[in-house]
A and B are shown apart, each in its own frame.
Chain A
Amino acid sequence: DAKTTQPPSMDCAEGRAANLPCNHSTISGNEYVYWYRQIHSQGPQYIIHGLKNNETNEMASLIITEDRKSSTLILPHATLRDTAVYYCIVLHTGGFKTIFGAGTRLFVKA
């Protein structure tokens, strides 16, 4: 079962930052936080992951709280093409079993 909690849906205006929250209060010390997204019915796409430090790549930023019980995925300038379901997942180092929850459906509006 998924060990994360996400809001079912969110709206964001095009060009604004989209901040997607995730609660993972039972995360253990060797578990990473991963984010994926699924655009329409395409295969899910990896976005970013982190352990305890904040991370940034060309797609997004990941902010993890100091107690690691929650995190926020930030899309700095959302576009219409960012409309998708975003999944927050915890997985330990070397883990094979990536379990997807219901995710957050992000609607980016013009």
Chain B
Amino acid sequence: DTAVSQTPKYLVTQMGNDKSIKCEQNLGHDTMYWYKQDSKKFLKIMFSYNNKELIINETVPNRFSPKSPDKAHLNLHINSLELGDSAVYFCASSQVGSENTGELFFGEGSRLTVL
């Protein structure tokens, strides 16, 4: 079983459209994340949810709206897509605490191309 799975893996769409990327983890972790990796390959944190509550929001445009229906899922909805949104989006999860290593487990990424 894949620990952190994202769908879709590839997404090609037109400017102005709205799209969603879904993420699920079966590791029982409390914390989930979205990272963005642009064409320059920098990996930047966007959001983090801990027990379904937003704990990190890194000055991401409000066109990006994460949704966490439960601890195992963190979806990313993007409104009014722009060319600059083209990137690979990675979902990750971790279990943070004094007895946990806190390491991140990443999904395989979702490559978004905006035309």
Interface residues of A (CB under 8 A from B): 32, 34, 36, 38, 41-46, 49, 85, 87, 91, 93-100, 102
Contacts and interface: CB of A to CB of B under 8 A. Distances in A.
B43 A100 contact: yes
Contact of B102 (A42, A45, A91): A91
A38 B44 CA distance: 14
Contacts, number: 56
B55 A94 contact: no
Contact of A43 (B42, B45, B97, B107): B107
B43 A93 contact: no
13 contacts: A34-B103, A38-B43, A41-B111, A43-B4, A44-B104, A46-B105, A87-B43, A94-B98, A95-B96, A96-B31, A96-B50, A97-B45, A100-B42
